[in-house]
């Protein structure tokens, strides 16, 4: 194994070479960025990553506006943030930072610039979207609008994850949890089962904290949560194959 350190303004890159090249990135904001940019233009990957994270922020905001329930991870974060009387974005940032430490020591190959941007921005993007529609526009969410918001949430969830996965600049801390479970079980628990385990666990935690704070359960769990669990995988694969990869490859 050999290592090369590259210092550029504001960033320190450490490149490690072995049978599979893995790039580790240490910067002022504590990140790890994969350095495999030989086959894909770096700027294009950044745009794909940022677009994906923007879509995910829209997805979470739309789920919340629909009041049909949110995705599993947001369910837990909304339950806990409501119990702590803390904004959703701030709590999600704190929790993501904690998960990131665990991921760093167990599955650091999944950490990249996209991980940092995701953990900082998604919660606040969702808060911003809800603030615009609920407090500024004061939009009355009728049943048709709630259904539209639910559909937008489902579609943008698939597109968002597909875009930032294709960018190969790191995944969200929570998305690495299932990988850690799989690795720790020495593949006795396959990834899809590990993901179901983690999703069910965080939903239960979210429900418990919501009940403890006497919050409205319908706000965090419902048909939207079920749609997220059942449709995310197929939609991610569809948008990855038919949209994200063609865009990345210039087709």
Task: Report d(CA 22, CA 19) in Å as an integer.
Answer: 9
Across the strands, what pairs with 7? 12
Q: What is the mean pLDDT of residues 159-184?
A: 87
Show Cβ contacts of residue 211 under 8 Å, excluding neighbours closer than 6 positions. Answer: 217
Encode pLDDT of 82-133 as tens digits.
999 999 889 999 999 999 999 888 888 888 888 889 888 998 999 999 999 9
Query: What is the pLDDT averaged over residues 134-155?
Result: 94
Tokens of 53: 């994270």
* pLDDT (0 to 100) of residue 39: 53
Name the DSSP letter for residue 241.
Answer: I
When mean pLDDT is compared over 8-22, 103-117, 137-151, the highest value belongs to 137-151
Check residue 121 and report its DSSP letter. Answer: H
72-93 burial, b for 16+ CB within 10 Å, e for fewer?
Answer: bbbbbbbbbbbbeeeebbebbb
Strand partners, 14: 5, 24
Cβ proximity of 23 and 170 under 8 Å: no
**Residue 200 predicted with pLDDT over 70:** yes
**pLDDT, tens digit, for every residue of 33-71?**
444 444 568 899 999 999 999 999 999 999 999 989 888
Q: Please report the pLDDT score of residue 26 as a whole number.
A: 37
**Taking CA 30 as the corner, what is the angle to CA 105 and CA 128, rounded to the nearest 5 degrees?**
110
Burial of 109 (0-12, 13-18, 19+ CB in 10 A): middle
When pLDDT is cut at 50, 70 and 90, the band that residue 236 belongs to is confident
Does the structure show a pLDDT above 70 at 25? no
**How far is it, in rounded angstroms, from Cα 125 to Cα 64?**
12
Least confident segment among 33-42, 109-118, 173-182, 216-225: 33-42
What pLDDT shows up at residue 21? 38
Upper half-sphere CA count for residue 163 (Cβ side, 13 Å): 20
pLDDT of residue 40: 64
């Amino acid at each position: 194994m050999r290592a090369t350190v590259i210092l550029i303004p504001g960033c320190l890159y450490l490149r490690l070479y072995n049978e599979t090249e893995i790039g580790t990135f240490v910067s002022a904001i504590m990140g790890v960025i994969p350095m495999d940019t030989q086959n894909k233009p770096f700027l294009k990957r950044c745009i794909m990553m940022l677009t994906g994270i923007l879509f995910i922020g829209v997805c979470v905001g739309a789920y919340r506006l629909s009041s049909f329930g949110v995705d599993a991870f947001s369910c837990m974060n909304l339950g806990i943030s409501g119990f702590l009387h803390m904004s959703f974005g701030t709590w999600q940032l704190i929790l993501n930072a904690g998960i990131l430490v665990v991921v760093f020591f167990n599955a650091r190959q999944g950490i990249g610039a996209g991980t940092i941007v995701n953990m900082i921005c998604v919660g606040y993007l969702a808060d911003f979207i809800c603030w615009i529609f609920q407090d500024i526009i004061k939009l009355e969410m009728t049943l048709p609008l709630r259904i539209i918001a639910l559909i937008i949430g489902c579609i943008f969830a698939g597109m968002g994850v597909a875009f930032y996965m294709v960018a190969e600049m790191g995944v969200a801390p929570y998305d690495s949890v299932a990988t850690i479970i799989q690795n720790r079980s020495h593949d006795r628990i396959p990834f899809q089962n590990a993901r179901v385990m983690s999703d069910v666990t965080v939903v239960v935690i979210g429900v418990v904290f919501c009940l403890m704070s006497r919050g409205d359960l319908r706000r965090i769990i419902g048909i939207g949560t079920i749609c997220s669990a059942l449709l995310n995988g197929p939609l991610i694969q569809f948008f990855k194959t038919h949209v994200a990869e063609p865009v990345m490859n210039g087709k």
